[in-house]
Structure 1
Amino acid sequence: MRPRIPGGRTTVLAALLSLALAAPIAAAQAQGAPPHGSVAGAAPDAERPHQYEVTGPATAAARTALAATGASIDEVHARAVVITADRAQAAAVRRLGHTLRRLPDPPVAPPAAPGARAKDFPPGYTGYHTYAEATKEIDALVAKYPALLSKQVIGTSHEGRNLLALKLSKNVSKDENEPEVLFTAHQHAREHLTVEMALYLLNELTSKYGSDARVTKLLDSREIWIIPDLNPDGGAYDIASGNFRSWRKNRQPNQGTSQVGTDLNRNWDFKWGCCDGSSGNPADETYRGASAASAPEVQVVSKFVRSRIVGGTQQIKAAIDFHTYSELVLWPFGFTDDDTGPGMTQDEHDTFATIGKKMAATNGYTPEQSSDLYITDGAIDDYLWGDQRIFAYTFEMYPSSFGSGGFYPRDSVISKQTSRNREAVLQLLDLADCPYRAIGKQNQYCKGR
């Protein structure tokens, strides 16, 4: 995920809440009690990653240095950052001169019956879909709306789970000459709300066709692709114990080490590992993998995106990759802090920014260029634009802060927080025929289309 920089009052409240939540943890540790969130039989507490509030980093450069420790930056305030880090990464952050305060671990479920093997979300979260439940719902929608929705298996994950691409369009069985838009979700395992976002779009766009004039017009004139789960292995692992593991990466072993997992959103084959925006250490949260697109899930989706080049032209014109949390709309580039870095003109930057700000005005998110927060490399939106010329955005969904649920908001928020993005999605779909309409230059760039 990526962080946000909220206003002063929100910052103070979030900081106070973080301090208040952290106090019981510190007290428990001082007394030798296991921290909230410890799981019997799990790895020793010191070996598991935890979230920390880090005071001090106040600039993009300072946050980039913080990310270089291999910790993931989860949230940013004016003078504080929330990170996920293991013991070694936390020590590296302290060596940078920062103060860390441990935050509570994810909620713990009641003990399971003896011999039971939990593979579902814990109580209070069962409204979220497991991989099997999501697949079942998708299959039911395909059966219900066969003229509008089709399913393709575009490949498999490391552990052999199917990676799906769902197509929505009026004549779904035909490959028509219509602008295409791609929505992807769940690159990071613990970001389960993004799968719900994908399912919401599938349900909303199919069920409203024929009754909602705007939805009908868009499905009549667009081809929409939804990849609802890029990281099913990591998602399953995150909940497999019956408690959240705060797992981020995929589940691909790293040869020559005991470490598991690659950060999929640092593994894309554009500016991979170029700019101190990822880690080369397999133990780190932001490990970029052994080579560009070394993760099977990234390979599958990259191949699918390239398959949409027809007659030498990429048919996908725009995209959103959904993440949590921090309530942000982000656009490329992440690998450079230049507004118009290599591979982007001023008009292209202005188009990105204008569309991003208009979408953010509908959902209340904060719009900004990715690198305004800190440098990342090998990210999907940089790849989609830099390699494929797709106007690609990252949405960091609800909540805005750790204090409001962080990576694990209760299932009661699903409906509100997915529908919150409806208007932004429809806006992007509408502009897909010529994104440059956003800056009034359609005649210059899209004439004759």
Structure 2
Amino acid sequence: MLALAVARSVALVAAGLVTLVAVNPADASPTNPEYSQNSASYVVAGVNDYADRNRIGGTGAAIDSVVNGRANVTATPEEARRIQRLGYRVIRAQTEGFPAADAGYHDYAEMMAELDRAAKAHPTIMRKLSLGKSYEGRDMPLIKISDNVTEDEDEPEVLYGAHQHAREHLTVEMALYLVRLFTEQYGKDPRITRLVNSREIWIVPDMNPDGGEYDIVGGQYHNWRKNRQPAGDGYRGVDLNRNWGYKFGCCQGSSPVASSETYHGPRAFSAPETQRLRDFVLSRRVGGVQQIRAAIDFHTYSELVLWPYGYTERPSAPGLGQDQQRTFATLGGILAKSNGYTPEQSSSLYITDGSIIDWLWATQGVWAFTFEMYPGSPDKGGFYPPASVIAEQTARNREASLLLAEYADCAYRVIGKQQQYCPR
């Protein structure tokens, strides 16, 4: 098994950042479902191996990172009690927030305005389209970048997605960075010009606009992860990255409980947001052949490059033979070398089921990766790093994003088998 990627020699408790408070069972029942179902951040001690991580994940809690044998999780009080009953020590982590007005980040309106400006400034290579509407009726923008942007050309296609999880705002900034990179450097940077001329590039800057807006309502962060559709029992939200239709709910890598942070929904694609992106991906099948060849789904945090499968710890599984596994691992290693992240199969951290990258690979044959962005540990901001890191941490993925687009014509080149698998 690959080493745990987020095991860092970083102190868990940084002065002024984290205060530890023992869980009080008397406070265990949810009292305000509208506010994260009373979810909170906890630290779980004694998380020493893969089995520990999967036992904790099996309670429905969301594992955010693991550092020096301690897991940082988001959980309801009931899930925290379940973890306690498994024999782990659980402590509540109260994390100080960033400034209420974090002007360096884009809220939904600001993001849409920036996309409109970019489309107006670069009409020959960029189109601002729409996936459709979110649960609350917000438009889900879809960006196409190509030299003949109004035409459907026979070129390899690349998909970059962001913000399935509401509190992961840095991923929206990553998507906006890519829009600027491919448009503003076109005609200036020969490498980028070549890619725009030979690829069709799709960017989904905001998969979860409802959750993202709710997470910052009132000018403060609410640690919200899911979307905002009713989930039953007075709760709201489905974990979009557990709602995809391959191995949905199969393997204790998500939760059937509506209050859980990893609630997978009543059925695959029950969330309108995953339906919209699914329908777009399926629309890219031309003559039965999927035109999207490679994808990155951006998340935070832990600084990881992950590949399928998440539902099983086996490196090989149906649809993922030796050559495919080697290709994922080799290409993942190349991408990780460029940004300093740790490469590993998704399940090496813990089991997840119903994820987008498993669905993209198993059903569409897309070389799909999850990037867990900055930071590598919670003491550097966790899900809410300061706006001062945006420029550096988005540019950090420049090379990896370009490399993936370059390999989209035939990923098997990384293992020298392009003649076998990509003869034309």
**TM-score category of the 2 structures, normalised to the smaller one:** over 0.9
Q: Which amino acid aligns with 2:218?
A: S
1:200 to 159, 177, 183: 177
Quote the residue 1:15 is aligned against: 12
- Tell me by how many angstroms 1:165 deviates: 1.1
Does residue 94 (structure 1) correspond to residue 91 (structure 2)? The answer is no
Alignment of 1:147-162 (within 5 A): 147-162=124-139
- Tell me by how many angstroms 1:243 deviates: 1.0
Per-residue CA deviations over 1:163-206 (Å, capped at 9, x if unaligned) read 11100011111100000000000000000000000000000110
CA contact (8 A) 2:18 2:95 kept: no
Alignment of 1:165-314 (within 5 A): 165-255=142-232, 257-314=233-290
* Larger mean Cα displacement after TM superposition, 146-155 or 388-397: 146-155
Quote the residue 1:441 is aligned against: 417
Stretches of structure 2 that go unaligned for 5 or more consecutive residues are 25-30
Q: Which runs of 4+ in 1 moved over 4 A?
A: 41-47
CA distance in 1, matches of 2:140, 2:329: 31
3-state SS in 2 of match to 1:344:
coil
Q: Percent identity?
A: 51
Q: Which amino acid aligns with 1:400?
A: G
Quote the residue 1:394 is aligned against: 370
CA distance in 1, matches of 2:18, 2:413: 48
**Residues paired across the two proteins, number:** 416
CA distance in 1, matches of 2:405, 2:32: 45
Does residue 72 (structure 1) correspond to residue 62 (structure 2)? The answer is yes
Q: Which amino acid aligns with 2:65?
A: E
- Tell me by how many angstroms 1:16 deviates: 4.5
Quote the residue 2:27 is aligned against: none
CA distance in 2, matches of 1:148, 1:46: 41
Quote the residue 2:21 is aligned against: 26
CA distance in 1, matches of 2:45, 2:215: 28
CA distance in 1, matches of 2:208, 2:193: 31
Per-residue CA deviations over 1:60-118 (Å, capped at 9, x if unaligned) read 22211101111100001342111011211111111111112222235165xxxxxxxxx
Q: 1:156 to 1:442 in 2, by over 3 A?
A: same
Does residue 55 (structure 1) correspond to residue 31 (structure 2)? The answer is no
- Tell me by how many angstroms 1:15 deviates: 2.5
Q: 1:286 to 1:151 in 2, by over 3 A?
A: same
* Larger mean Cα displacement after TM superposition, 82-91 or 221-230: 82-91
CA contact (8 A) 1:4 1:327 kept: no
Provide TM-score, normalisation by structure 2.
0.94
More strand by share: 2
CA contact (8 A) 2:17 2:96 kept: no
CA distance in 2, matches of 1:340, 1:82: 29
CA distance in 1, matches of 2:135, 2:13: 41
CA contact (8 A) 2:5 2:304 kept: no
3-state SS in 1 of match to 2:21:
helix
CA distance in 1, matches of 2:61, 2:73: 6
3-state SS in 1 of match to 2:276:
helix
CA contact (8 A) 1:329 1:368 kept: yes
Provide TM-score, normalisation by structure 1.
0.89
C-alpha RMSD of matched pairs (Å): 2.0
* Larger mean Cα displacement after TM superposition, 301-310 or 60-69: 60-69
Alignment of 1:118-137 (within 5 A): 122-123=100-101, 125-137=102-114
Per-residue CA deviations over 1:111-139 (Å, capped at 9, x if unaligned) read xxxxxxxxxxx23x221001110000000
CA contact (8 A) 2:33 2:236 kept: no
CA distance in 2, matches of 1:108, 1:368: 31
CA contact (8 A) 1:186 1:228 kept: yes
Q: 1:88 to 1:421 in 2, by over 3 A?
A: same
CA distance in 2, matches of 1:62, 1:26: 22
3-state SS in 1 of match to 2:201:
strand
* Larger mean Cα displacement after TM superposition, 44-53 or 82-91: 44-53
Q: 1:285 to 1:372 in 2, by over 3 A?
A: same
CA distance in 2, matches of 1:68, 1:297: 25
CA contact (8 A) 1:72 1:286 kept: yes
Quote the residue 2:388 is aligned against: 412
CA distance in 2, matches of 1:416, 1:433: 29
Stretches of structure 1 that go unaligned for 5 or more consecutive residues are 31-40, 110-121
Quote the residue 1:115 is aligned against: none
Per-residue CA deviations over 1:7-41 (Å, capped at 9, x if unaligned) read 5xx43x332538x7444x539x99xxxxxxxxxx9
